[in-house]
Amino acid sequence: MKNNSKMFRVIAFLTIIGFSMVTCDDPADEMPALTGIVNITGIAQVGQTLTANTNISGTGVITYQWKRETINIGTNSNTYIVQAADAGSTITVTVTRTGNSGSVTSNPTGTIIDPLTHGTLGLAFELIKGNTEYSVSLGTARALGEVIIPTIYNGLPVTVIANNAFSSAVNMTDIVIPGGITNIGSSAFSGCEGLTSVRIPGSVTNIDSNAFHGCISLTRVTFMGIITSFSYTSPFPGDLRTKYQANDGGIGTYSRTIGSNTWTGAPGGLTVSEATTTSVTIRWNSISAADGYKIYRSASADITFTEVGTSETITYTDTGLTEGTRYFYRVAAAYNDEASPQSNAINTTTVPGIPTGVSAITTSFSSITISWSSVTGATGYRIYSNTSSTGTFTEVGTSTTTSFTNSGLTASTTYYYKVAAYSSGGTGEQSSTVNTATASGIPTGVSATAASFSSITVSWNSVTGATGYRIYRSTSSTGTFTQIGTSTTTSYTNTGLDNSTTYYYKVTAYNNSGTGEQSSAVSATTLTFTPIQLTANVWINGTISASASEIWYSFPVTNATTYRVWWNDAYGSNGTKTGDIAVSARYSGSSSWIFGGTNTSVDSGWSTAQSFTANQTGTVQIRVIPYDRSGSYYGTYGIVYSTGTTRPAL
- How far is Cα 209 from Cα 222, in angstroms, rounded to an integer? 18
- Scanning 39-165, the segments in alpha helix (DSSP H) are none
Burial 50-74 (b: 16+ CB within 10 A, else e): bebbbbbbbeeebebbbbbeeeebb
User: Domain 20-106, what architecture?
Assistant: Sandwich (2.60)
- Does the pLDDT at position 255 exceed 60? no
The helix or strand, by DSSP H or E, that contains position 632, with its residue range, turns out to be none
User: Domain 447-525, what architecture?
Assistant: Sandwich (2.60)
- Does the pLDDT at position 36 exceed 50? yes
pLDDT value at residue 259: 38
pLDDT value at residue 411: 83
Give the gyration radius of the chain's Cα atoms.
45
How confident is residue 426, by pLDDT bands cut at 50, 70 and 90?
confident
pLDDT value at residue 153: 79
pLDDT value at residue 228: 56
pLDDT value at residue 238: 59
Helix, coil or strand: residue 317: strand
Quick: pLDDT tens for 268-289: 899 998 888 899 999 998 876 6
Quick: pLDDT tens for 341-358: 888 899 998 999 999 999
Quick: pLDDT tens for 217-239: 877 776 665 565 565 456 777 55
- How far is Cα 472 from Cα 519, in angstroms, rounded to an integer? 10
* pLDDT, the chain, mean: 83
How confident is residue 338, by pLDDT bands cut at 50, 70 and 90?
low
- Does the pLDDT at position 119 exceed 60? no
How confident is residue 600, by pLDDT bands cut at 50, 70 and 90?
low
Quick: pLDDT tens for 453-471: 788 999 999 988 788 999 9
pLDDT value at residue 234: 64
Domain ranges of the chain: 20-106, 115-258, 271-349, 359-437, 447-525, 532-642
pLDDT value at residue 392: 92
Residue type, 351: V
pLDDT value at residue 143: 57
For 290, other C-beta atoms within 10 Å of its C-beta total: 18
DSSP notation for 481-498: -EEEEEESSSEEEE-SPP
Given a contact cutoff of 8 angstroms between Cβ atoms, the answer to whether 338 and 289 are in contact is no
- Does the pLDDT at position 41 exceed 80? yes
Q: What is the CATH number of domain 115-258?
A: 3.80.10
Class of domain 271-349: mainly beta
Among 189-198, 248-257, 538-547, 635-644, which is the least confidently predicted range? 248-257
- Between the CA of residue 367 and those of 362, 449, 560, what are the distances in Å? 7, 33, 66
- How far is Cα 564 from Cα 144, in angstroms, rounded to an integer? 119
What are the phi and psi torsion angles at 260 (to 5°)? Answer: -100, 5
pLDDT value at residue 226: 59
- More confidently predicted of 524 and 606: 524
Q: What is the CATH number of domain 359-437?
A: 2.60.40.10
- How far is Cα 36 from Cα 18, in angstroms, rounded to an integer? 14
Beta strands in 155-194, from DSSP E residues, in sequence order: 156-161, 172-176, 183-184
pLDDT value at residue 233: 56
- Does the pLDDT at position 329 exceed 80? yes
| Predicted TM-score of the model (pTM) | 0.40
How confident is residue 29, by pLDDT bands cut at 50, 70 and 90?
low
Share of the chain above pLDDT 70, in %: 84
Residue type, 205: T
Quick: pLDDT tens for 514-558: 788 899 999 999 888 789 999 999 999 999 987 777 889 999 999
pLDDT value at residue 599: 56
- How far is Cα 370 from Cα 186, in angstroms, rounded to an integer? 66
User: Domain 532-642, what architecture?
Assistant: Sandwich (2.60)
pLDDT value at residue 141: 57
pLDDT value at residue 47: 75
- One fold for both 20-106 and 115-258? no
- Between the CA of residue 181 and those of 113, 172, 190, 249, 334, what are the distances in Å? 18, 19, 18, 25, 27
pLDDT value at residue 21: 40
- More confidently predicted of 514 and 442: 442
- Does the pLDDT at position 84 exceed 50? yes
Quick: pLDDT tens for 123-175: 788 888 888 888 888 765 555 567 778 888 777 888 999 999 888 888 888 88
- How far is Cα 134 from Cα 119, in angstroms, rounded to an integer? 13
How confident is residue 1, by pLDDT bands cut at 50, 70 and 90?
very low
DSSP state, residue 241: H
Q: Which residues pair with 264 in a beta bridge?
A: none
Helix, coil or strand: residue 419: strand
State the average pLDDT over residues 368-394.
93
